[in-house]
Structure 1
Amino acid sequence: MLPKLALENILRSRFGRKSKVIFVHSIPNERIMSNAVSRILMKHDERLLATRSLPSRPATFVDAPEKLHPDLKNWMQQQGYSQLYSHQAEMFEKAHAGKSVVITTGTASGKSLSFYLPVVQRILENPSRRVLFIYPTKALTKDQFRNIREFVAFFGENRIQAGIYDGDTSPNERSRIREQANIILTNPDMLNASFLPNHNKYGFPHLFANLDTIVIDELHAYRGAFGSHVSNVFRRLLRICDYHGNRPKFLCSSATIANPLELAENICHTPFEIVDRDGSAAPAKHIHFFQPEYLEKAKRKKAVTEELRGILPDLILSGVRSITFCQSRRETEIVTKETRDVLASDPMEYGIDMSDKISAYRGGYSPAERAKIEQDLVDGALLGVVSTNALELGIDIGSLDAVIMGGFPGTRASFWQQLGRAGRNGSEAHAIVMLKEKPLDQYVGNHPDWLLKTDSENAIIDRDNLYIQLSHIRAASAELPLTIDDIASFPDLGEIIPLLQKEGELVEQNNTYQWSGDISPAHEISLRNLTGDTIKVVDTEKQETITVVDLIQAKKEFYPGAIYLHDSVQYKSLQLDLESKTAFVKEVNSNYYTEPHKPGNIAILMEHENAKEHRINRFFGDVRVSVNVTGYKMVEFNTHQNLGFTELSEILKTQMETEACWVEIPDIVVRTFVATGKAPALEPNVPVGKIPRFDYSEGLVHCLKAAASMLVMATDSDLGGDIFSFVDMESKRTKYAVVLYDGYPGGLGFSEKVYDYVGQIIRNAGTLVKECSCKRGCPVCVGDARIDKSLILWALRNFYKELPSPISGVIGDGLNRSQESPLPKMKWMEVKTNWEELLQRFEQEDRFGAKFLTEVLRVEQTAEMVVLYLPSGILKIANNDTVIKGLKAELVHLVETPEVFTLSLRAGDETDHRKELKIRRMMGGKDGEEK
């Protein structure tokens, strides 16, 4: 049976979109959709790891609060509201009492009405009051303005006026809003660049003097660098409100996170109360955990993009309205293009090409493009959309039947937010979680109850990031002269003011510090980009700007030869001109996309803290991270096969100073990894090729970074990981460490949190590797199928207790275990003659090198030297300073050694040499003939 929605779209496409389609005796549409999803999943039954169902929940209704304005009660009746959800009434009561409140009920629970009611009441009571509604995106602002206009239409413009004030607003409309609007919808970027710098002109003084309430929707979106910037914007805003004799209160809404109260107070700098008991109804939801197919010939699992190409056409052809979330712009475009290709290649199943029924949606599209896609989803002209997390926020895109996640979204908070996009009309919904070859994805697939039954993560910001503070202190000084009292707003003011004075940007006058620069410092702040520098992407043939991207992103996406996708259209990057800040591209029809190769380098700038627990030697401090784009590989569409590597003629370099946690790798682990011959990052003077071979040390980084990201709610861009060497100041020896660093200049608090929980992270990494379904190792648990995961597990355990190396001939650390023997010391000149007795002492007292010394072929001795002859195979990995120092330390405790003595390791006798020659002959060596 052809589903109703699919047939309706087919008929309209044939006879016109305005044609009326009437169905007689139809089955309820929600039942058809649920059955269609189940039927599609049954085709892939063998790849479903688990299904979990969340039961429906009835609503808890209460009567409207007694203090609710009579005209608002009339509005409710007209809208069909006889009662409120319990959380809506609770929000009204707290807000009406003058509290700042954050509400954290579920998706589609009516959070917006929770703050509309108290805000409109305040305006009806005093029309001079002003309210700012702050949204993280323009799209969400426009979407929510539709709801605000319902109040304006009901009460009339003589009582309430509203308007959107953003970069698209005309000068005349801006003037009207400043002078007349009670409700102003805007975003943090406009606050930073327009409202605050102009607070004393253009009608803004009236706004700030009468600003009663600030509403922040989607508070959970303000995390990481963006949230840290916005926190400082509100520091400046509250400072200006104080100047105008006013102190507004805040109303915030947030998705489910572990620390909504803490986040609200860190962003808004004011005490909050919380509303978290959800009184709304919730439909039943079925969550399916989907493992991509294993391709026996290719010896790999299908990429998630390949699996989506197989499932999305079925959903479209079945009329299932769906949203698919991908984790990058590139993935979004690849999935859309390949799904359209499938739909276009076999259009006759239902007699029509339905490739236009799915669209991509992401940042980088113009406002007009995004608005059309949103409206087409609401109208039903589109059946599916493939999006980045740009549609994770509460934009109204109509009722959807299914959500497909192209990989676990990284945090439980994002998971619940994406899940909430389906089932909004009260009907049951389905979610398909496509599991990527990532540690966290596989852990979620194997432990779905961990995802569904444990608390969400903390949203982390660092409002005191020095780089961010510096930018906003500059802006604040141009808005109002700084005084020593401003240290209450900016804790690092005392360090920053002298720096700005030295640069000639601040001058001191009458105990105040005034801006003396030529430019507006607020306009130099980019709240959302890693740097203030942006790059225009220009189509050379049409001479049009396609999009604007951050400089760091441009180096990763627009290096010469890169393939860039925009709404499934392919562009090839011809040139990245950093002087003109322009990337020049041309439209192409390529059979591949590109992935950059980005080797890195780490340098310690300053150590702030260090601690040792068990064998875990951890540090926290400032580092300089250098990332170089040296080339790219070409990956074929559809097959996802590697077509080759191209080296760039000019390396694109990026440097930043940030915070990091680094953990020293035990020496025995370093020696063992080196002994495998597969740890180039731990070998000095080894040149890095175009694409480096697999590396055991990188496998260690891979699992530790995955475990850390789980714990601190970090995305790939929040937290970086690498291996680096440093010189230990005490021993003057080269050491190696795993480093996890913040992906933002100055740091954002992620690595500091890692430092606090290093022990737990190492244990969690062991769990991720151990419980991975692979037998020996795979890209999920250790980053590469050629890495033996048992060796990585052994390395992780060595952070707690020294274990013998699984590689023959590698000896333990031992240096820190050396202690006095309970037995009398042996005479120095008896070492050679009583060698067997000395070996027994090493064994009985579990001394460093006890097993290694049993390999000694013979001993020679002088008054100041002991020479140990060893098989040459062992000598190659044992003859180093670490081993010799360890053995000498043990001899000091067991033997009456001279004050100065030498221990030398040398190759054994001719028998050993002949063995080496024999091996060479067996391997076909040219110099295998004995002479």
Structure 2
Amino acid sequence: MGKKPKDESLFIRGHATISPVIRHRRSSRPIDDADIGSRPKEACSPSKLGSRDYSGHSPPKQISGKQGLGRHGQIRHVQEISGREASFCPLPPHLSPHTMTALNAIGAIAAAVSGGRHVVVSTSTSSGRSLCYNVPVLESISPPSSTSCALYIFPTKALAQDQLKTLLEMTQGQSNNNNSHVSIYDGDTPMKDRAKIRDSARQLITNPDMLHMSILPSHAQFRRILSNLEYVVIDEAHSYKGAFGCHTALILRSHPKFIFCTATLANPKEHVMELAKLDDVELVNNDGSPCGAKHFLLWNPSVARAQERRPSPVQEVSYLFAEMVQHGLRCIAFCKTKKLCEMVLARTREVLDETSPELANSICVYRGGYVAEDRRRIEADLFGGKLRGVATTNALELGIDQAGRSGRRSKEPISVYVGFEGALDQYFMNFPQKLFGKPVEHCQVDSQNHKVLGQHLACAAFEKPLCPVMVALKEKGCLVNNSGVRKYVGPDNKSPSRTVSIRAIEHDRCKVIDKQGYRVLEEIEESKAFFQSDIALPPTSASSSKTGMVRTTAQANSCKVTTEWACFDRIWKSNNVLSDSIEVDLPPYSFDTQAAWVTVPKSVRAAVEQRKLGFQGGVHAASHALLSIVPLHMMCSASDLGTWCADPQQTSKTPERILLYNKHPGGIGLASQVKLLFGELLIGALQLISTCTCTNLDGCPNCIQSFACSGYNKNLDEAAAVLILKGVIENER
């Protein structure tokens, strides 16, 4: 065909509900960091796909041929994203001889950092962003007389391990090389090694959780490092959003020099300035890294399911996973949850036991909860080639864009996005241009959440006495006046950081107790106590959420969300049939947050009722569709936002509005962003419902049904939702 061989790389990705990705890496170590540009392309049929050279040889017939896995039309779209050639610039003359020899290119970062400014590097994956902080750091600590130190902060342990290997490789051969200068200090670090690391490390690699729970509360033990800090490196800055971003913004404060690295964002400069409360940051976004053309396939298992060929999308992923392993591709399958990892692994091994039993043990699972030794062993086996495949959660994820990391040094990878039975997945399957043609998203972080601020004030008072009068903490008995300053005492005088999780905002918890043995089984958040407990029975659909607005004239404002429970349903596990309902007398759960909404015109309601459709069910269904579309337009998770869900037994008047509220107490700044995007969200929700092929009056999981619905998807009206959305869109114009 006259084309150079492509890298033997394949991704299988499922979005939203589950995110499996399969990729091959040819190198023996983790891939560094590259981005996906976008260029629209017509969809290809499976037969056309089979004629293309995807990995240096023809694709396996089982995948692309008429008798293969894709023979039922699962391949909905093929997208090719063009590559780019490398661009070069001279190395800065002030670099040390060793660094000058070790590097081929450094980009614009050297000038920005050497000028003493805070810097944010926002370039594509695999563009060599790690050089942008490693080179300045190594230059600062390399002089014999230097006492400078650097703090590296990564959101995951896997990233920390990856960067430790990189740093050790870069310092190999230096005359003053001392591996003890570079150390990881996290929850996996043995207690016996911690004192030595505190005394000798000059490049300390950690994560925000360890910084919050161990380093800052014990800052006297880290005085040598903290007092000599010249650089603070924050990698994967785009991951600091939502509740995690709120907490991290109150942990990070001004240091001599911040170096941030992030995937391509629409607002990288504004995001990191809010994250670290900086007045100004130098933006570096010129990307000169080479990148081969990338090939994406959208794979929709629901087509095969309609023909009764596959019992579940998980099995489809398992068949593809097994197929890639049998053809010699080293792969990673990213899954949304630990349970799905285990399901994919079990089913894939069943397939391999039938076809290639010698390969059944060449795949395994990698997820959170494993001890450090097991994680390191799996990483080494995968990157060393001993393992051919791993099913994993994002515990192994090396950045926001897994697909962008496949194929490096201008090699051409293939990525397969597997759509599951979720509204967003099916929206992408029907509108692939929305996936490849969307502008880069904004990243939102709100450091003004009062609930989070109160938690960190207690932590700050423990770390250092506070001079201002802290009335709220004093009333709680957490502060005492000691020689004119406020000092933390708190319960048992223990560090409050131990009770403040930076991955969540809510910290009021309920204990689940075994009455027979009076043993505490677990502790869960108060808001989830009646939903998440594996021991308590699930709540009935009679549970409801009502939202009281502070002001109803604006499109975004503060609100109070109250959840009430009426009874529990007892359901037989064997057949999922309702046994009976038990009334409960539980106090309502309320919290203050933020919401955004639009009003449904009275004329639209009248039109819906004139056609004998359910207005309540229509608003409920439209709200679900809107909620499903939000992650397409802004960086947030499905657990960040909620909506009003209709209660069939509700006697009060249905509110004439479509509303989304922030599910985090106090809000995390998403409501204001939703307000700006509401017009696009309405159009996307209408497209989602209109293109669904289901014939049910109450829709399906691909359009208006939501797994997070507190009303268990009862009282939904798809036809009414279409009328309401059309009416609201017309009224907004």
User: Please, what TM-score do these two structures have when normalized by structure 1?
Assistant: 0.63
Tell me which of 150, 161, 172 is aligned to 1:142.
161
- Structure 1 pair 751–118 and aligned structure 2 pair: CA distance change class (3 A): same
Aligned to 1:913: none
1:47 corresponds to which letter in structure 2?
A: Q
Structure 1 equivalent of residue 727 of structure 2? 798
Match of 2:265 among 235, 257, 270: 257
Name the structure with the higher strand share. 1
Which stretch shows the higher mean deviation, 261-270 or 498-507?
A: 498-507
Give runs of aligned pairs for residues 21-60 of structure 1, distance below 5 A. Answer: 35-36=58-59, 40-42=63-65, 43=68, 44-45=70-71, 46-60=73-87
Instruction: Tell me, yes or no, if the aligned pair for 2:619 and 2:724 is still in contact at 8 Å.
Output: no
For residues 69 and 437 of structure 1, what CA distance do their matches in structure 2 show? 55
**Structure 2 CA distance, aligned partners of 1:171 and 1:95?**
35
Of 509, 514, 522, which aligns to 2:487? 514
Determine helix, strand or coil for the equivalent of 1:610. Answer: coil
Which structure is larger by alpha-carbon Rg, 1 or 2? 1
Pick which of 33-42 and 262-271 moved more: 33-42
Distance between the aligned counterparts of 2:653 and 2:510, measured in 1? 44
For each residue in 1:498-556, what CA deviation from the matched residue of structure 2 results, as whole angstroms up to 9, or x when unmatched?
A: 22222222245666433232232222211124544789999xxxxxx999987877865
Q: Does the alignment pair 1:162 with 2:182?
A: yes
The answer (yes or no) to whether the contact 2:608–2:723 under 8 Å persists in 1 is no
Structure 1 residue 122 displacement after superposition: 0.8
- The residue matched to 2:142 in structure 1 has which SS? helix
Q: 2:289 aligns with which of 265, 270, 280?
A: 280
Report the equivalent of 2:402. 418
Aligned AA for 2:444? I
Residue of structure 1 in register with 2:151 after alignment:
132
The residue number in structure 2 matching 1:91 is 109
User: Are the aligned partners of 1:214 and 1:249 in contact in 2 as well (CA < 8 Å)?
Assistant: yes
Which of 480, 490, 500 in structure 1 is aligned with 2:473? 500
Contact 1:36 1:318 in 2 (8 A): no
Q: Name the aligned partner's letter for residue 500 of structure 2.
A: I
Q: Helix, strand or coil: the match of 1:89?
A: coil
Question: Which among 270, 275, 300 is matched to residue 267 of structure 1?
Answer: 275
Q: Which deviations, in whole Å up to 9, do the C-alpha atoms of 1:448-494 show, x marking residues without a partner?
A: 3332233221111111111111111111122222245xxxxxxxxx8
- Distance in 1 (CA, whole Å) between partners of 2:120 and 2:438 is 21
Q: 1:335 matched to which residue of 2?
A: 344
1:791 Cα deviation from its structure 2 partner: 3.0
Q: Secondary structure at the match of 1:167?
A: coil
- Given that 1:231 and 1:267 are in contact with CA atoms closer than 8 Å, whether structure 2 keeps it comes out as yes
In structure 2, relative to structure 1, the CA distance for the partners of 1:179 and 1:59 (3 Å cut) is: same
| 2:158–2:398 Cα contact (<8 Å) kept | no
- Contact 1:127/1:159, CA 8 A, preserved across alignment: no
Structure-2 change in CA distance of 1:285 and 1:596 (3 Å): farther
How far is the alpha carbon of 1:429 from its aligned partner?
1.1
Q: From the superposition, tell whether residues 794 and 140 of structure 1 become closer, same or farther in structure 2 (CA, over 3 Å).
A: same
1:120 partnered with 2:57: no
The Cα shift of 1:301 comes to 8.9
Q: Secondary structure at the match of 1:214?
A: strand
Q: For 1:248, which of 227, 249, 256 is the aligned residue?
A: 256
Q: Which moved more, 1:599-608 or 1:453-462?
A: 599-608
After TM superposition, give the deviation of residue 372 of structure 1 in Å.
2.5
Aligned to 1:869: none
With CA pairs under 8 Å and 6+ residues apart, which has the higher RCO, 1 or 2? Answer: 2
Pick from 448, 452, 455: which aligns with 1:471? Answer: 455
On the 8 A contact 2:452/2:505 being kept in 1, the answer is no
* Residue 385 (structure 1) aligns with: 390
Q: Does 1:72 align with 2:99?
A: yes
- Partners of 1:661 and 1:476 lie apart in 2 by 33
What is the Cα deviation at residue 211 of structure 1?
Answer: 0.9
2:643 counterpart of 1:620:
no
* Alignment partners' CA distance in 2, 1:634 and 1:55: 54
1:723 is paired with a residue of what secondary structure?
coil
| Pairwise CA distance, 1:221 | 1.3
Identify if the C-alpha distance between structure 1 residues 299 and 118 changes in structure 2 by more than 3 Å, giving closer, same or farther: same
How many angstroms apart in 1 are the aligned matches of 2:564 and 2:658? 16
Provide the rounded CA distance (Å) in 2 between the counterparts of 1:513 and 1:216.
32
Change (3 A) 1:334 1:675: farther
Deviation at 1:186, TM superposition (A): 0.9
The amino acid that maps onto 1:72 is T
Are positions 1:432 and 2:361 aligned together? no
Are the structure 2 counterparts of residues 187 and 802 from structure 1 closer, same or farther at C-alpha, using a change threshold of 3 Å? closer
CA contact (8 A) 1:533 1:551 kept: yes
- For the structure 1 residues 546 and 607, does the alpha-carbon distance in structure 2 shift closer, same or farther, using more than 3 Å as the test? closer
- Provide the identity percentage: 29
Residue 323 (structure 2) pairs with residue 314 (structure 1): yes
Q: Which of 500, 507, 513 is the equivalent residue of 1:525?
A: 500
User: What residue identity is the alignment partner of 1:661?
Assistant: A
Which of 119, 123, 133 is the matching residue for 1:105? 123
Equivalent in the alignment of 2:673: 753
**Pairs within 5 Å for 1:701-716:** 701-716=623-638
Is 1:325 aligned to residue 346 of structure 2? no
| Cα distance change on mapping 1:751 and 1:533 into 2, 3 Å | same
Q: 1:744 aligns with which of 656, 660, 664?
A: 664
Q: Taking structure 1 as reference, are residues 476 and 785 closer, same or farther at Cα in structure 2, changes over 3 Å only?
A: closer
Once the two structures are superposed, residues 612-640 of structure 1 have per-residue CA deviations (whole angstroms, 9 ceiling, x without a partner) of xxxxxx4522222438694687899xxxx
Structure-1 separation of matches of 2:655 and 2:612: 18
The residue type paired with residue 40 of structure 1 is I
Written as runs of structure 1 = structure 2, the 5 A alignment for 1:504-903 is: 504-508=477-481, 512-517=485-490, 518-532=493-507, 558-560=533-535, 600-604=543-547, 607-608=550-551, 610-611=553-554, 618=555, 620-626=557-563, 630=568, 644=577, 655=589, 657=591, 658-667=593-602, 682=616, 695-723=617-645, 735-772=655-692, 778-783=700-705, 789-799=718-728
SS at match of 1:154: coil
Paired with 1:102 and 1:708, the residues of 2 have a C-alpha distance of: 27
3-state SS, counterpart of residue 559 of structure 1: coil
- 8 Å CA contact 2:122–2:264 kept in 1: the answer is yes
For normalisation by structure 2, the TM-score amounts to: 0.79
Alpha-carbon distance between aligned partners in 1 of 2:572 and 2:370, rounded to the nearest angstrom: 25
